Amino acid sequence: MAFNLEEYLRTAFRDKLRLHGTVPTCDAATLLPSTRLLQKRREMAEVERALQSQRQEFRQRMERLAQRRQQLGQREEELRHVVLKFDAFLKASAARQERALRRAGEARAAGQGAETTRLRRELEGLLQLRERLARHLRSLRGFEDYLQGVLARMGQFQDVPAMLAHFGALVETRATLAQQAEAGQEWLAHGRALLQRYQAEAGSQLLRTEDELTQLRARLEAAHHDVLQEESCWAHIQSAVTQKTLLLGQIKLAVLNLFQLATARLNIPADVALEDTEAQLDTVLLCMRDLAAICAELRPREPGLCPQGLPAAPSTRPLRQGGARVPLGQE
C-alpha cells in the first residue's frame, strides 16, 4: 500500500510539472535568473500544496476504507455467529423431529388396534343415526307433499325454502307485534294506574281545598259580623261624640251667656277671650261668690238665702275693678 501511494504521488508530481513547465522559450530566455527562480519556487509551492491536498484526500479515503473493512469484519463475525446458531438450531430441530417420528411410530404401532375399534364404533353409530334420519325423513314425506301442494296453489314463491322463509319472517313479525302490543298494554296499565293515583290525589286535594274554603267562608262571615259590630259600635261612639259635642257647645253657650250677663250686670270688664270657657267659668264663679257674700251681708239672719254649694263670702266684696277687690263700705 505504501508503494502504491508513493507511485501515485510521483505520477501526480510529474503531471503537475508537465503542466506548469510548458513555458515559451522566448519568455524563459528573456526572464532574469532571479525571476525564473521565483517562478520555479512558486510552481514548487503550488505543486507542494496540490500534493498535500492529494495526500490528505488519500489519507481520508484510506481511513474510510479501514473503517469499512472493520465494519465488514464485524458483519462477517456476526454472520458467522448467526450461521453457527442456525446450524445448532437445525441440528436440534432434526433431533426433535427424529424423536417425534420415533414416538409417533411407537404410538401408531401401540394404538392401531384401539383406533380401529373406535372407528368401528363411530361407524356403527353413524349408520344408526342414518337409519333414524331416514325413518324421520319418511315420516316427513306427508308434510313435504303438503308444502308442495301449498306452493303450487299459491304460485308466488319459487320453492319451499323461500315460502318457509317468508312464513318464518311473518311469524317473527307477529311475535314482534305481540311483544309490542304487550308492552303497549303494560304501558297503558301503568298510565291508568298513574291516572287513578292522580285522580285520587286531585280528589283529596279538592276535599282539602273545599275544607279550607269552608273555613275561609266561616272566617269571612265572622269577620263580617265583627265588622258590623264594630261599625255599630263606631256609629254609637260617633252618636255619643256628637251628643257630647252638642252638649259641650250648649254648655259653652250657657257659660258665655252667664259670663256676658254677669259682666254686664256687675260692670266687670270682659277681658277674657270668647273661646276661654274655663276663664269665663272662673269669672262667673267669682261673681256668684260675690253675690253670695252680698246676700250674706244684707241678710245675715237668713242663711237660707245663700245659694247652696257656695262657700261663705268674706267681709269684702270680690268685685273686680282694675283687678283688685273693693271693701263693702267703699261701694
Give the SS3 label for residue 301: coil
CB-CB contact of 319 with 325 (8 Å):
yes
Nearest to 260 by CA among 276, 292, 284: 284
Which residues, including other chains, have CB under 8 Å from residue 291's CB and lie 6 or more apart?
Answer: 307
* CA dist., res. 264 & res. 284, Å (int): 12
- H or E element: which one contains 7? helix 2-20
* CA dist., res. 311 & res. 296, Å (int): 11
According to DSSP, residue 306 is labeled S
- Residues 61-70: tens digit of each pLDDT: 889 888 888 8
Neighbouring CB atoms inside 10 A of 263's CB total 19
- Residues 276-312: tens digit of each pLDDT: 888 888 888 888 888 888 888 887 555 554 445 444 4
- Residues 108-166: tens digit of each pLDDT: 776 676 777 888 888 888 888 888 888 887 777 777 777 777 777 777 777 777 777 87
Q: Is the pLDDT of residue 6 over 50?
A: yes
Residue 226 buriedness (CB in 10 A; 0-12 / 13-18 / 19+): exposed
Q: What pLDDT was estimated at residue 315? A: 35
Q: How much is the pTM? A: 0.29
The percent of residues above 70 in pLDDT, for the chain, comes to 80
According to DSSP, residue 315 is labeled S
Taking the domains of the chain in order of start, what are their residue ranges? Answer: 2-105, 157-249, 267-330
16 pLDDT tier (thresholds 50, 70, 90): low
